[in-house]
Structure 1
Amino acid sequence: MAIRTATIHATLRLLLLLGVPAIALAADADADDPPRPDAGKPVSFLRDVAPILVRDCIACHNAKKAEGKYAMTSFAQLVKGSTSGDGPTIVAGKPDDSNFIDVLLPDADPRMPYKLDPLPEKDIDLLRRWIAEGAKYDGSSPTEDWAFVLHKTRAVKVPAAYPVAVPITALAFSPDGTRIATSGYHEINIWKTADGTLDRRIPGLPERTHAITFSPDGKWLATAGGDPGQYGVAKLWAVEAGGGLKAVRDLSEATDVVFAAAFSPDGKTLATAGADRIVRVHEVDTGRLVVQAEDHADWIFDVAFSPDGKALATASRDKTAKVFDIARKESLATFPGHGQPVDSVAFSPDGKTVASAGEDNEILVWTVGEEPKQVRKIGGFGGAVFKVRPSPDGKILAACAADGTVRTFKADDGKPLHTLKGHTDWVYAIAFSPDGKTLASGSWNGEVRLWNVADGKPARTILAAPGLPRAK
């Protein structure tokens, strides 16, 4: 495989986060042709109108990008119209007096959606009918972000069999090591490590899952992910007898993707972070938010607890890694040694150093303190290093990269142990089994590979796409 540069990786990650789909798996709430309401049934804003606006309007009229000074992601803003003072956009009961309809007509100048195909006549008729019926909002509050509500509550039909594989952006071994959970499309999938067969599918998740992690005692599982640019959430699941999962609560809801989740060493708290640049720490038993901190200037891709649970390390697109004191709610260290976005962080077993890695194609090990000092550099990667993870005993450091390899090193001095070759695409996710004897890696093309840690030899390959036959 030709080596792909960090620049290409960054471009594709941006497309990924903006919602450009890797595959078209199923029709969902924002499909090209939303279902029409029955003739005798009132038009619902959330069910009928909102999918049209998501498809054709809010990309240019949202809180971050309000073309024409018009943001429409709250109902109050949608009705009021532009902040430039042109008057109300929607006049309830009077579609002919509503500028919202006028600018959608084929002969409008300018016509909306701007520089795109005009809305189908049936969509304009539906919007006209909704306004004629009173332009009512059927959410909780006219000031809430209805796009957020829509993505949180929409039902997505996941196909019984995937037509193509999806990138593996997260994976984790079960507490007993007999199963491995992998990211899917609006779901996570559980596979048996003994033979690679599918054990079960867990639906009800956002489009992409970026983190899967079990609590140290094996009683909980946390996932983090989202619908890029629209909705993000960390979910807490109770692990049931036999390996089943029961959804308990949603945490850290945001209007963009939640990338990271990590349990504290005692399993009592869960830390999350994502595109909103906020680190949150919740009590696991109650869901109570105990810490909220915003110290990075850009997205946070990874979080890791120190061995004593008193500090958090973070990795950010702002090209820094940080260490945060949880009790005092203040920064302990900012490491500026990376020249590119930082994708991953991990503490050493004694908590005195942190290993961070990212799109400068290397791992840097540095001391925790007011003036962190680099003590080691681990190079040799042919692309961005997406994840760095320590073994359960802390003696081995594993990393995966855009060059399609997984590498292991001695944690105390950085000396290389094994280079695990076999993937033919970017390797995004890695995880050690609880006993530290097996390492799992997941790649962009949907493959999960299991490796023997002792000798670096392959043990099993799983195509982690339910119902998709492996090419012969």
Structure 2
Amino acid sequence: MSKRAPPDPVSVLRGHIASVMDICFHPSKNILFSGSADGELRIWDTLQHRTISSGCLHSAAHGIISVAASSVFGDDKVISQGRDGTVKYWDIGDGGLSRTPLLTIRTNAYHFCKLSLVQIPLASIGGTVTQKSDQDLGDSEIGDDIHVKEHIEGPRYVALPGEDVSMVEVWDVSNAKRVAQLYQYTDDPQKSMKRRGMCMAVQAFLLPESEGSLNILTGYEDGSILWWDLRNVEVPMASVQFHAEPVLSICLDRSCRGGISSAADDKVVFFTLDYSTKSILIKKEIMLERPGIAGSSIRPDERIVATAGWDHRVRVYNYRKGSPLAVLKYHNAMCNAVTFSPDNKLLASSSEDTTVALWEIYPPQRI
């Protein structure tokens, strides 16, 4: 652990009047999106630290639970997910939110599992990673210089629970059509197919080994995680149970061969995915003094990872070694989400205290 005092936020974004449920950075611009429990989405300028645009995209009674943006969808698009059973696709081409969505997907899903866009491995999109060395991170500044193509080709899909919250669905955002359904699987036909409970976390991704077929990790109420290849929607490739409480987030690194899971229990798990053996393997377990991690994010350079704690704290770890680096203290209520900017320079955290904090933590070094 660093002996230096952890930094304060470089800025605190205020404007929401309800809990900020989710945040995400624009894939190529200095813009941050934030969605709150009263249905408002705000677009922030991360250089001037001000609101560019805002709008109530979902009903105040249900609110927004997830916001997402990706180069796959283009630079002028953002997706919002509400607890009103809809996912909406928005145009921000003129610098502000359009009055009506480009498309609405009626999923009839009404609980708190955030949707997932498809994550594409860095090697598949023409990116290059340049590293100084593989030395220990320690207390020094850390970071890589990553260059990624501006426009990425990939499936315009979202994955999320459906009307049956124990089932996961994949929807095509291009035409609002459902393309797949993943039912829970049990090797004991005498047991209920709903024995794992609700789907609480989902992450869609691609791997070269799957020949373009979509892969999905799903986390459930009983603490289990399943790995699916959509070429076989009947049976998952792998099943593990790393957690004793509901899985709340699954985050993959840029290679899509490793990641972390967090839950309502007192554990954060670093894992690897082995397609050849079709297995999910524990790399490192971190035991927490206080249970409950609502969200997590791995920086694009794969050097550090941040978690959003129920105890109001943002914790930063060395991703390669799993060692703790810093505990960031600002929020005075539960943290709901954390996310890193594509250029590795900023970390954003959102909280029930209605604020979004921006941090500069272990800034990347340009090589």
User: Which TM-score applies when normalising by structure 2?
Assistant: 0.72
* 2:169 match: secondary structure: strand
The Cα shift of 1:427 comes to 0.7
In 2, Cα distance between equivalents of 1:360 and 1:396 = 22
**Structure 2 equivalent of residue 237 of structure 1:** 90
Gap change, CA 1:305 and 1:214, over 3 Å in 2: same
Equivalent residue for 1:304? 203
Distance 2:65 2:256 in 1: 25
Query: Cα 1:433–1:249, aligned 2, differ >3 Å: closer, same or farther?
Result: same
2:124 matches 1:271: no
Q: Decide whether the 8 Å contact of 1:224 with 1:258 is kept in 2.
A: no
3-state SS of 2:68 partner: strand
Please give the alpha-carbon distance, in whole angstroms, between the structure 2 residues aligned to 1:219 and 1:281: 23
Q: Equivalent residues in 2 for 1:146-225 (5 A)?
A: 165-184=17-36, 185-206=38-59, 207-217=62-72, 218-225=75-82
Residue 358 of structure 1 is aligned with which of 248, 263, 268? 263
Q: CA deviation at 1:455?
A: 5.5
- Shift, 1:194, TM fit: 2.5
Q: 1:428 aligns with which of 336, 343, 349?
A: 336
- Runs of at least 4 residues off by over 6 Å: none
Question: Structure 1: which amino acid aligns with 2:93?
Answer: E
Q: 1:220 to 1:267 in 2, by over 3 A?
A: farther
Structure 1 pair 435/394, CA: closer, same or farther in 2 (3 Å)?
same
For the 8 Å contact 1:381–1:401, the answer to whether it is kept is no
Instruction: Work out which of the residue numbers 155, 167, 170 in structure 2 matches 1:281.
Output: 170
Is 1:334 aligned with 2:219?
no
Distance of 1:427 and 1:281 partners within structure 2: 28
Task: State the AA in 1 paired with 2:255.
Answer: D
Cα displacement (A) at 1:383:
3.0
1:425 aligned partner, one-letter code: A
| Structure holding more helix per residue | 1
CA separation of 1:361/1:216 partners in 2, compared to 1, >3 Å: closer, same or farther? farther
Distance 2:78 2:155 in 1: 10
* Alignment CA distance shift 1:354-1:321 (3 Å): farther
TM-score by length of 1: 0.57
For 1:353 and 1:175, the matched residues in 2 are separated by 21
Q: 1:176 to 1:339 in 2, by over 3 A?
A: same
Q: Find the residue that maps to 2:71 and give its secondary structure.
A: coil
Aligned counterpart, 1:343: 248
* 1:324 shift after superposition: 1.4
8 Å Cα contact 1:189-1:201 kept in structure 2: yes
2: CA distance, partners of 1:165 / 1:387: 21
The equivalent of 2:148 in structure 1 is none
Q: What SS class does the counterpart of residue 247 from structure 1 fall into?
A: coil
* Aligned CA distance change for structure 1 residues 424 and 276 (closer, same or farther; 3 Å): same
Determine the C-alpha separation between the residues in 1 that align with 2:58 and 2:86.
9
Q: Give 3-state SS (helix, strand or coil) of 2:312's partner.
A: coil
**Contact 1:180/1:193 (CA < 8 Å) preserved in 2?**
yes
Map 1:80-91; keep pairs closer than 5 Å.
Answer: none
SS of corresponding position for 1:377 = strand
Task: State the aligned residue count.
Answer: 291
- Distance in 2, matches of 1:341 and 1:198, equals 35
Q: Matched residues in 2 for 1:170 and 1:277: separation?
A: 22
SS at match of 2:54: strand
Gaps of 5+ in 2: 1-13, 121-153, 185-193
Residues 222 and 244 of structure 2 are in contact (CA less than 8 Å); yes or no, is this contact kept in structure 1? Answer: no
Q: CA deviation at 1:377?
A: 0.4
For residue 315 of structure 1, what is the amino acid of its counterpart? Answer: G
**Separation in 1 of the partners of 2:82 and 2:197?**
17
Structure 1 residue identity aligned to 2:266: N
**Deviation (angstroms), 1:373:** 3.4
Q: Which residue of 2 aligns with 1:316?
A: 220
Contact 2:103 2:176 in 1 (8 A): yes
Establish whether residue 325 from structure 1 lines up as the match of residue 229 from structure 2.
Answer: yes
Cα distance in 2 for residues equivalent to 1:444 and 1:232: 22
Q: Deviations over 1:233-259 (max 9, x none)?
A: 222223424253451222252152363
Q: 1:312 to 1:420 in 2, by over 3 A?
A: same
1:253 aligns with 2:110: no
CA deviation after TM superposition for structure 1 residue 307, in Å = 4.8
User: Structure 1 stretches of 5 or more lacking a match?
Assistant: 1-160, 457-472
C-alpha distance in 1 between matches for 2:24 and 2:362: 19
Is the Cα–Cα contact under 8 Å of residues 324 and 332 in structure 1 kept in the other structure?
yes
Query: How far apart are residue 381 of structure 1 and its match?
Result: 4.8
Alpha-carbon shift at residue 302 of structure 1 (Å): 2.2
Contact 1:258 1:272 in 2 (8 A): no
Amino acid at match of 1:168: V
1:290 is the counterpart of 2:171: no
2:307 aligns to what?
399
Following superposition, the deviation at residue 219 of structure 1 comes to 4.2
* Contact 2:54–2:96 (8 Å) recurs in 1: no
Using the alignment, how far apart are the partners of 2:21 and 2:356 within structure 1? 11
